[in-house]
Each structure stands twice: as structure tokens, then as C-alpha cells.
Amino acid sequence: MTLAEEFKSRNFSIYGQWTGVLCILLCFALGIANLFNLFKPVLILFAILCLLSAFIIIFIEIPLLLRICPTSPKFDSFIRMFATNYTRAAIYGVMSVIQWISISVHPTSLIAAAVVLLLASIFYLLAAVKGQAFQSSKTLGGQGVAQMII
């Protein structure tokens, strides 16, 4: 299945996964950008949490990395907890809420991460509510790609 066919499939888990990839980029960039906020030290904590979110999402959304990167069995089992649409919607929702809380300290660019994380959570929740099976994108190392490497 090509990337265009994946998007035409109308499976919200595919949309959620690709929104998750966008979250990786945003959380990483905005986390680094907000690390240097000298006037509001509490925002540094939210920037670190944003960076941590990016690294967690990388392993959730790109399953190929669990085979390539040396990780502990405990971390692998933590990441594998997010194999269903409901659990992915929950983790993205929690990460989004954390970034929305940062607005109470001071509105910054972290709001963009909060919005996109919320959007990914909504896509996964829609997939779960509609009863769509989780479908991993082959482009990101889903079914078939990881087996071809080994």
C-alpha cells in the first residue's frame, strides 16, 4: 500500500500516526526553543516535558526504531502498551494537557505542540470509536518493513 493509498483508506489511525510524526518535529523544535527562556524558569520544565514527549512519540509511532535502537526490556514493554487506538489517544491527550497547562504560566509557542498533540489524540479517539483497527503506516516501519530488515 502506497502512502497515497494509506491516506485514501479513511482510517483515522493512519491520520493519527502521521499527525504524531508532526508532533515529533514540533515537540522537539519547540522544546529546544523554550529551553532558553530565562525570564520564566518554570517554562523550562514544560520545555523538558515537551522534549521528553517527542522522544516517547518517536518510539510509539516508528516501531522500526524499537528493533534498531538498543533499549531496555522495561522501556520496550512501556512503549508496547500503546498498541491500541484508545491507549494512543490517552497518551497524546495527557501530553496535550501538560502543554496546555504551560499556558497558565505564560503563553508561548508550546501552544502549537498542545494543539497538534490534541489533534493526534482526536484522530486516534475517532479511530477507536468508529471501531477501526489500528493500522500502522508501512512508510514508518509498520507491517512488513521491520521484517524485511531482519
In the prediction, which pLDDT does 117 show? 95
In the prediction, which pLDDT does 90 show? 95
- The model's pTM: 0.84
Please report, for the chain, the start and end positions of each structural domain, with discontinuous segments joined by +: 9-149
* Contact between 120 and 19 (Cβ < 8 Å): yes
How far apart are the C-alpha atoms of 150 and 147, rounded to whole Å? Answer: 5
Which residue ranges of the chain lie beneath pLDDT 70?
1-9, 135-150
Q: Helix, strand, coil % (nearest 5) of the chain?
A: 75, 0, 25
How far apart are the C-alpha atoms of 138 and 77, rounded to whole Å? Answer: 22
How far apart are the C-alpha atoms of 67 and 64, rounded to whole Å? Answer: 5
In the prediction, which pLDDT does 12 show? 84
* Contact between 132 and 12 (Cβ < 8 Å): yes
